[in-house]
Amino acid sequence: MSDIHLDHSVLSALRDVMESEFPVLLDTFLTDSSERLRQIHRAVALADSQALRLAAHSFKGSCSNMGAAVLAGLCKQLEETARREQLADATALVLQIEQEFLVVQGLMLEERHGLAR
């Protein structure tokens, strides 16, 4: 089931490239993702479709780079929703993004703890 949420071949390739810095990459992604979620919430609260589009676009890219394809897809949907200025639809998507991020976060933390063994 975790392969649906996180492409382990992407993580394996990143681990090979990053070597000893791979744990730092995981930590950075998780910290950065929390900030991006705050930006998304702020943009929704302010009904700022431009800020929402930019935050969703940025989050989409980092999720894609880390192999979190489902999360990246949800961010793409949010980006398009913001582009069309359909902010009434954004709240449900943000909830889905938060739920998917919790799954991805858990899987990445498992990956991170597995490196410490």
DSSP 20: G
Range of the domain at 104: 2-115
User: Residue 114 — very low, low, confident or very high, per pLDDT cuts 50/70/90?
Assistant: confident
Amino acid at 13: A
Judged by DSSP in three states, 80 sits in helix
What CATH number did the domain enclosing 96 receive?
A: 1.20.120.160
Is 103 buried (19+), middle (13-18) or exposed (0-12) by CB count in 10 A?
middle
pLDDT, tens digit, 9 for 90 and up, residues 89-110: 999 999 999 999 999 999 999 9
Domains in the chain: how many in total? 1
Per residue in 31-56, pLDDT tens?
999 999 999 999 999 999 999 999 99
